[in-house]
Amino acid sequence: MAKHIHIVGGGLAGLSAAVSLSGQPDIRISIYEGSPSFGGRARSYNDSGLNRLIDNGNHLILSGNEAVFKYLWKIGATQSLTGPKVPLFPFVDLEENKRWDLLLSKGKFPWWLFSSKKRVPGFHFPELLSLWNLIKANSRQTVADCLINGEFARRLLQPFSVSALNTSCEMASASLLGSVIKQSLLKGGKACIPYFPKEGLSESFVKPALSLLKLQGGGLHLTSRISEIGVQNNRVDYFVVNGEKIVLGPQDTLILALHAYVAEKILRPICPNIQIPNQFESILNLHFAVDRDLKIHGNIGRAKFVGVIGGISEWLFFKDGVISVTISAANRFTGCKPENIVPLIWQEIQKVFNPVLSKPLPEQVPVYRLLWEKRASFMASAEQNNRRPGCYTPFSNLFLAGDWTATGLPSTLEGTIRSGFNAAQATILRE
C-alpha cells in the first residue's frame, strides 16, 4: 500500500520536499496551499497595471547554492537561469558618487584583493579581520560586533549582511553570516557567480516543479487552508483543511511547510513547548515599468543588476521593461507613505542607471508596483536563531520545513530548499 505524504504549504520549502520525494513508486504526494497560487515568496505574475511579468521579490542565487541547483536539476530547470557567468558584482556609492566592480578570483586564493580594479575601493588588508571574526563568531555576537571600521565593511560586508540576513547589522547573528561566508566567499569566486531567472521565479522554480509532480500523479490543492491537527498516541491522527477532516493511515506522513507565524498557531495546541521564531523583518520591493528598448552599457549591463551604497535602495535589477528595487530589513520604513519614499527611490535609480543607459530615464516617476512583505523572514538575530526547531517533532509522522527551521542558514532560497530536502529525508528515515 502506497504511503501518502501530505505537505501543507506550497512555497519552495513544500515544493522542494515534494520534488525530493517524487518519483518513488511507493509514495503518493499531496500538497495543500492556502493561497490561490504556489511559490510563496518565490513566484512571478503578470501585473496588469504595469503590463509586465514581475517577481514578487528579487532573489540573487550564487553558484555555490548546492541545494538550489540540485532542486533545479531535479525539475529540469537549470537552464532557466541567467547571469554574467563570472563572479561580477557592480556597485555604485551614491554618497561619494563612485562606481566600481567587485570581480572575484575563481579559485580559493583571493587574488582579487591585490587588484585595485577588482576589489572594494578604499580597502585595507587589516580589514580582513572582519571575515575572520565572522567565521569564528559565537552564537551571541552580532555582525556589528565583528566588523572592523572601514570601506571593506561599509561597501561590501554590511550590504552583503543586510541582504543575506534581512536584518540590521546591529541585530543580525554573526554566526549566521559566517555560515553564508563559508559557503560563498571562502570557497572562492567559483561559488559566487550570480544567477537569477531569465523570465521569472515561477518560470524557474514553480511551474517546472508542478509539471513534474502532476506527471507523477501528485495532488495539488490551492486555496486549501489548514486549521487543525489532531494527534493520538504520539502521532498525527488527522488534520483539517477547509473544514474537511483528512485522516492519516498508519504509513502516512504530514510535512508542515508553512510560514513561521502560521505554523506557530497550528502547532501550539499540540506542541505547547515548541520554540519558533516570533519576530520578523519586512522586505520592500518596487517594480517600475520602463521602455523595453532601453540598453545598459558596461558591466551593469553585463550583470543586469547593481548594488547601491549610501541610499535607500540596496539592489537594482534590470529585466525586460522593468527596473526592480529591493530594500531589505525594511521595518525601519514602517509608517513611511509611498508617495514620499517612491520619488526618492526613483531619483536614486536615475543616478545609478542614466550614465550607462542608451537614453536617460524620464524625470517623472513611471507606473510602478510596490510590494511590501511585512513578515518576509524571521529576524535573524541571535535570540531568534536559537528559537529555530529542527525538522523533527514529538510526533513520529509530523515533520517541519521552512526557512525558519534550523538549516544553519538565514532565510534564503538555499536555506528554504535545504529545509524541504531535510524534511523529505526525515520522512524516509522514519522507516
Encode pLDDT of 262-274 as tens digits: 999 999 999 999 9
Cβ neighbors of 347 (< 8 A, separation 6 or more) are none
Q: What is the mean pLDDT of the chain?
A: 95
Distances (CA, A) of 79 to 44, 163, 233, 417: 18, 25, 47, 18
Whether the predicted pLDDT of 53 surpasses 80: yes
pLDDT of residue 327: 96
pLDDT of residue 139: 92
Which pLDDT tens digit goes with each residue over 326-370?
Answer: 999 999 999 899 899 999 999 999 999 999 998 999 999 999 999
Q: Where, residue-wise, is CATH 3.50.50.60 in the chain?
A: 3-36+222-278+379-429
Q: Where, residue-wise, is CATH 3.90.660.10 in the chain?
A: 45-83+194-200+280-378
User: What whole-number percentage of the chain has pLDDT above 70?
Assistant: 100
Contact 101, 89 (CB under 8 A): yes
Q: For residue 278, with 0-12 CB atoms within 10 Å meaning exposed, 13-18 middle and 19 or more buried, which class applies?
A: middle
Query: What's the average model confidence in pLDDT over 105-118?
Result: 94
**Which fold, 3-36+222-278+379-429?**
FAD/NAD(P)-binding domain (3.50.50)
pLDDT of residue 431: 60
Whether the predicted pLDDT of 101 surpasses 80: yes
Whether the predicted pLDDT of 234 surpasses 80: yes
pLDDT of residue 203: 97
pLDDT of residue 164: 96
Whether the predicted pLDDT of 23 surpasses 90: no
Contact 20, 255 (CB under 8 A): no
Read off the pLDDT band of 57 (50, 70, 90).
confident
Whether the predicted pLDDT of 113 surpasses 80: yes
Read off the pLDDT band of 1 (50, 70, 90).
low
Read off the pLDDT band of 253 (50, 70, 90).
very high
Q: What is the pTM of this model?
A: 0.95
> Which CATH code, of 3.40.640.10, 3.90.660.10, 3.40.50.10490, 3.60.15.10, is assigned to 45-83+194-200+280-378?
3.90.660.10
pLDDT of residue 24: 84
Q: Which strands, in side-by-side order, build the sheet including 244-247?
A: 226-232, 235-241, 244-247
CA–CA dist 83, 193 (Å, integer): 8
Q: How many CA atoms lie within 13 A of 277 on its CB side?
A: 27
Whether the predicted pLDDT of 174 surpasses 80: yes
Query: What's the average model confidence in pLDDT over 51-69?
Result: 95
Q: Strand pairing of 244-247 and 235-241?
A: antiparallel
Q: Strand pairing of 315-319 and 398-400?
A: unpaired
Q: How many CA atoms lie within 13 A of 294 on its CB side?
A: 22
Query: What's the average model confidence in pLDDT over 32-58?
Result: 95
